[in-house]
Amino acid sequence: MEFHISLIGRKDLSGEIYRQLRRAIVDGRLRPTDLLPPSRELARRLGVSRTTVTVAYDRLAGEGFVSSHVGAGTFVSERVPRVSGLGKQHRSGGILTPRDIWETVPLAAPFARPARFDFRSGLPDASCFPHDAWRRLLEREFRSEALGGGVYADPAGHPGLRQAISRHIAISRGVETDPDSVTITNGSQQAIDIIGRILLNPGDCVAVEDPGYPPPRRLFTTIGARVAGVPVDEQGLVVEALPRRARLIYVTPSHQYPLGVSMSLPRRIELLAWAEEHDAAIIEDDYDSEFRFGGRPIEPLQTMDTSGRVIYVGSFSKTLLPTLRLGFMVTPPSLVTAAHKAKQVTDWHTSMAIQAPLARFIDSGGFARHIRKVGGIYRDRHERIVQILARDFRAYLELIPSAVGLHVAAFARNASADQVDAVVQRASNKGVEVQRLSYYEVDTPPRPGLVLGYGAIETSQVEEGLRLLLASFKE
């Protein structure tokens, strides 16, 4: 016997003997026609009953790994040798390698870094989330009817939720749609994935804002698209810099991520005209425009679009919680069926366990109340940050005007990217997490600067956090 059977700390002794022997046979330590120890002997050696061993032997025999010959004992089967060649590579590695592209994609880890003063952008305040109300909604809605019984649901999503969303965005954003054009997705990221699936062929060019939100760019790259960064100025995406070959343009017109500017009306008109002329599609990601602290909202591209080129994408990650994974998209009629098919082959549909509660939350007015409540909190933080930056950071930062959403951005004054990096590092050492604008670079290094999110930081922490940030500049 070349191999060791260990039963220390094991419970299912017979199963353990079976598994360890089988593994020895499969990886070649026990070879065809090798004789297993007599069951009586092995039982004695292991200090178990003989039945424990014979049950294991019987199971191996039943599966063809061994055969018993009366009087001669139990042998490893002759048929098994073909496995032995497999045993060279140890399973702890594995021989498969992912496509090269995955080497270039970082695993984003916002989930791994808690911070004392958390100015990271793109995160809402979880402490504001109405957990109690939602527990009641779940209690009420987690029933066979809302879950759709035992059958797979409509890939487009829960009918009541699609209706609630179409009403909500008509009122809050002037988006013109009907429930049929709404597809529920696992957050906006999946909406973007589905759009890529239905529109993009390998090698197609996708234009994204530069600096811009990284996850869609990473997604497009991994599905075989070529991604081109397009500059952003104070009016938003610089339309005249779009590469002629762009088939799809990903933009955040309400509140550019990360600079925070709103795309001007002339620029919107120009973008729609460009798409028309170059036969391109536009993804309008309206990820956090529910929070508005001044100014008048400009109409979404979706509403101005008369040729059906704009796909409007929304998310509940900023208004509720990112971990719910709830978003949606509004597709032009020509793409609706393909969107549903693509959602179906991707993952059938979004979990019904959370769709019915969300529908009820919106319909009951709870969602609108929640937005108003947290909007007031975010407004307060926004004003404090803007005020303190204007008062204390004039030598270091030039605030980019913005009156929407969950973050502001600022260019550094007279500082190189390296110097900004050093400031961010010093701030981090003090427990202050802020993001560098350079993190959002696509093709061209942006002007050095910072992004300050206020979704995650408590209002009472803003002042102290910025004081520490200022100290990091002064050091």
What residues from 171 to 200 belong to the interface with a copy of itself (CB under 8 A)? 171, 174, 176, 185-187, 189-190, 193, 197-200
- Shortest gap between Cβ of 341 and a copy of itself (angstroms)? 5
Residue (35 or 126) nearer to a copy of itself, CB: 126
- HSE (side-chain half, CA atoms, 13 Å) at 268: 22
Angstrom distance (rounded) from CA 223 to CA 197: 8
Quickly count: other Cβ atoms within 10 Å of residue 310's Cβ.
27
Residues 118-147 interacting with a copy of itself (rule: CB under 8 A): 123-127, 129, 131, 134-135, 138-139, 142-144, 147
- Shortest gap between Cβ of 251 and a copy of itself (angstroms)? 16
Is 212 one of the binding residues for a copy of itself (CB under 8 A)? no
Q: How many residues bind a copy of itself (CB under 8 A)?
A: 130
Residue (15 or 243) nearer to a copy of itself, CB: 15
Binding mask 341-380 for a copy of itself (x = CB under 8 A): xx-xxxxxxxxxxx--------------------------
Amino acid at residue number 57: Y
- Shortest gap between Cβ of 41 and a copy of itself (angstroms)? 25
Q: Which residues of 141-155 are buried (b: 16+ CB within 10 A; e: fewer)?
A: beeeebbeeeeebbb
Residue (134 or 291) nearer to a copy of itself, CB: 134
Angstrom distance (rounded) from CA 230 to CA 212: 9
Angstrom distance (rounded) from CA 161 to CA 357: 9
Is 460 one of the binding residues for a copy of itself (CB under 8 A)? no
Is 414 one of the binding residues for a copy of itself (CB under 8 A)? no
Residue (172 or 419) nearer to a copy of itself, CB: 172
Burial category of 72 from C-beta neighbours within 10 Å (exposed 0-12, middle 13-18, buried 19 and up): exposed
What is 344-412 written as a DSSP string? HHHHSS--HHHHHHHHHHHHTTHHHHHHHHHHHHHHHHHHHHHHHHHHH-TTTEEEPP--BTTEEEEEE
- Shortest gap between Cβ of 231 and a copy of itself (angstroms)? 20
- For residue 230, the surrounding DSSP H or E stretch is strand 226-233
Quickly count: other Cβ atoms within 10 Å of residue 100's Cβ.
7
Residue (163 or 344) nearer to a copy of itself, CB: 344
Quickly count: other Cβ atoms within 10 Å of residue 14's Cβ.
19
Angstrom distance (rounded) from CA 137 to CA 355: 11
In three-state secondary structure terms, 168 is: helix
Largest Cα span, the chain: 95
Amino acid at residue number 345: V
Residues 77-96 interacting with a copy of itself (rule: CB under 8 A): 79-80, 82-83, 85-96
Is 298 one of the binding residues for a copy of itself (CB under 8 A)? yes
Residue (294 or 445) nearer to a copy of itself, CB: 294
Residue (398 or 458) nearer to a copy of itself, CB: 458
In contact, 5 and 43? CB cutoff 8 Å: no
- Shortest gap between Cβ of 416 and a copy of itself (angstroms)? 30
Residue (315 or 393) nearer to a copy of itself, CB: 315
Residue (203 or 445) nearer to a copy of itself, CB: 203
Among 3, 6, 44, 308, binds a copy of itself (CB under 8 A): 308
Residues 233-292 interacting with a copy of itself (rule: CB under 8 A): 264-266, 269-270, 272-273, 276, 279, 281
Is 463 one of the binding residues for a copy of itself (CB under 8 A)? no
Polymer length in residues for the chain: 475
User: Which of 212, 279, 219, 220 has the alpha carbon at shortest distance from 252?
Assistant: 212
- Shortest gap between Cβ of 383 and a copy of itself (angstroms)? 21
Orientation angle between helical segments 352-363 and 131-141, nearest 10 degrees = 120
Is 201 one of the binding residues for a copy of itself (CB under 8 A)? yes
- For residue 23, the surrounding DSSP H or E stretch is helix 13-26
Residue (90 or 244) nearer to a copy of itself, CB: 90
Residues 31-70 interacting with a copy of itself (rule: CB under 8 A): 59, 62-65
In contact, 391 and 467? CB cutoff 8 Å: no
- The phi and psi torsions of 417 (rounded to 5 degrees) equal -60, -40
- Shortest gap between Cβ of 444 and a copy of itself (angstroms)? 23
Residue (306 or 414) nearer to a copy of itself, CB: 306
In three-state secondary structure terms, 121 is: coil
Binding mask 429-458 for a copy of itself (x = CB under 8 A): --------------------------xx--
In three-state secondary structure terms, 441 is: coil
Is 6 one of the binding residues for a copy of itself (CB under 8 A)? no
Residue (124 or 236) nearer to a copy of itself, CB: 124
Is 384 one of the binding residues for a copy of itself (CB under 8 A)? no
Residues 318-337 interacting with a copy of itself (rule: CB under 8 A): 321-326, 332-335, 337
Among 34, 154, 380, 398, binds a copy of itself (CB under 8 A): 154
User: Which of 119, 109, 110, 111 has the alpha carbon at shortest distance from 468?
Assistant: 119
